[in-house]
Amino acid sequence: MTTRRNFLRNSLLSSTALLPGILKKGADQLSYGFKTTEAYKPLFVSTWNYGINANTRAWEVLQKTGSILDAVEEGVKVSEADPASRTVGIYGYPDREGIVTLDASIMKGDGDCGSVCFVRQVKHPVTLARKVMEKTPHVMLAGEGARQFAIAEGMPMEEEVLHPESRKAYEKWLKEAEYRPVINIENHDTIGMIGVDQNGTMAGTCTTSGLAYKMHGRVGDSPIIGAGLYVDNEVGAATATGMGETIIKICGSFLVVELMRQGRSPQEACEEAISRLIKKNEENIEDMQAGFIAINKEGEYGGYAVHPGFNFIIHHAGGSKNIDAKSHFNTSR
Ligand code: ASP
C-alpha cells in the first residue's frame, strides 16, 4: 500500500546515496553552543538574505509611522512585489497544474492574527491576511473565498500569467518530473519577518508561493498560525521557512515561543525546535530543509536550521547584517 510518506518519499528527485555521513549526529545529541549576547530595540529579523530590502523598508516604515505592524507588513510586501522572486508572491513557481497559489499570515503580539491560503491573483497576500484580521470575525480564509474577499475589499486582481522564468522552469519540470511533486530542500523559500519596537511591542508576517510544483490545493506552514508564525508580546516571536510539512508537525513557531517562555534564549529555542523537528521527520530528513528565526522581548535574536545554507537578516539602528545560520547537520549539499 502506498502510504502518504512513501508517496512523498518516492517523489524525491535527489538521492540520499550522495550524502555519506550526513546523519552522523543523532537528533538528541544537540549541544547549545551559541547564545545570543546582543540585544537591540527596535529590531527586525527576516528569513533569507533577500530579506535585506524588506528589512530596510520595515525600518523606514517604523521610523515614519511608529507602527511595528505596518512595518512588518510593508517590509514583506517588497518581496511579494519582486519580479525576481521565484518563491514569494505571484512571480513564484507554480503548482503542478501550472497555477501560482499563495499563503500568508500576520500576527500581533497581543494575539490578533489573520491569514490567507491557497489564494490566487493577489499581489499582496500579506495585506489580504491583515484585512482578514482587521475586517472579519475570522482568522483564516482559503482559496476562492479569500480571492472574493480581496475583490470585495477593492484589491486588484493580477493576470494569471507565469513569469517567463517560472514558465521555463515549470515546462522543464513537466518534461522531467512525470508530474510528481518535488519534495526537496531547494524548491522553496519563504520570507518571514518578526520585529520588536523600542517598547517591546512585537509583530510578524510570513508570505510564500510555497513549494514549487506542489499538488494543487497544498497549503504549507506559512499561513498556519503557530506553525509558520507566532508572536506573543509576553515572550517573543518566531517564524519559519523550509519544508512546511515538517514545520506543521511540531507547531514549529509556537514551539519556539513556548520554549522561550520556559527560559530559553531565542537561539536555544530555535535549536531545540529543530531538534524536535528532526526527531519527527527522521526518515526523510536528508532532503528536508527547515529553519527558524526568533526574537524575544528584550531584543535578543537567534536562528537555526536543519542543514547548512540558511541565512537571515537582522536590522537595527546600527544597520543590516546577513547572518549565516548554524545548522544541525554540517555537511553542505
Ligand atoms: N514553508 C514554505 C512552505 O512549505 C516554503 C518555504 O519556506 O520554503 O510552503
* Chain segment 180-203, per-residue pLDDT in tens: 766 556 556 899 999 999 999 999
Mean pLDDT of 295-307: 96
Q: What average pLDDT does range 162-190 have in this prediction?
A: 81
Any alpha helices (H) in the chain, and if so which ranges? 4-10, 52-65, 68-80, 125-135, 143-152, 164-176, 244-248, 252-261, 266-280
9 vs 319, more confident: 319
| pLDDT of 217 above 80 | yes
What are the cell numbers at 216?
Answer: 494543487
Instruction: Kindly report the pTM of this predicted structure.
Output: 0.88
Instruction: For residue 103, report the distance from its CA to the centre of ligand 1, in Å.
Output: 9
pLDDT, residue 188, reads 60
Class for the domain spanning 30-327 = alpha beta
Is the Cβ–Cβ distance between 90 and 81 less than 8 Å?
Answer: no
pLDDT beyond 70 at 18: no
Nearest to 316 by CA among 66, 47, 55: 55
- Tell me the pLDDT band of 220, cut-offs 50, 70 and 90: very high
Would you say residue 89 has pLDDT above 90? yes
Is 244 close to ligand 1, i.e. is its CB under 6 Å away?
yes
Q: Residue ranges of the domains in the chain?
A: 30-327
Ligand 1 centroid to residue 305 C-alpha, Å:
13
Active site residue 87: no
Mean pLDDT taken over the chain:
88
String of b and e for 276-286 (b: at least 16 CB within 10 Å)?
bbbeebeebbb
Summarised one tens digit per residue, pLDDT across range 117-157 is 999 999 999 999 999 999 999 999 999 999 999 999 999 99
State the catalytic residue, choosing from 87, 190, 207, 208.
190
**Stretch 48-63: mean pLDDT, rounded?**
93
Per-residue pLDDT at 33 exceeds 70: no
Mean pLDDT value across residues 163-185: 83
To the nearest 10°, the Cα dihedral for 159, 208, 214, 224? Answer: -120
Give the other-Cβ count within 10 Å of 299's Cβ: 20
**pLDDT of amino acid 29:** 36
Beta bridge partners of 312: 47, 323
User: Can you tell me the distance from the alpha carbon of 23 to that of 63, in angstroms, rounded to the nearest whole number?
Assistant: 45
| pLDDT reading at 307 higher than 60 | yes
Does 220 contact ligand 1 (Cβ within 6 A)? Answer: yes
Predicted confidence (pLDDT) at residue 26 exceeds the cutoff of 70: no
Nearest CA to ligand 1 atom 9: 210
Ligand 1 contact, 223 CB (< 6 A): no
**What mean pLDDT comes out for the span 15-34?**
35
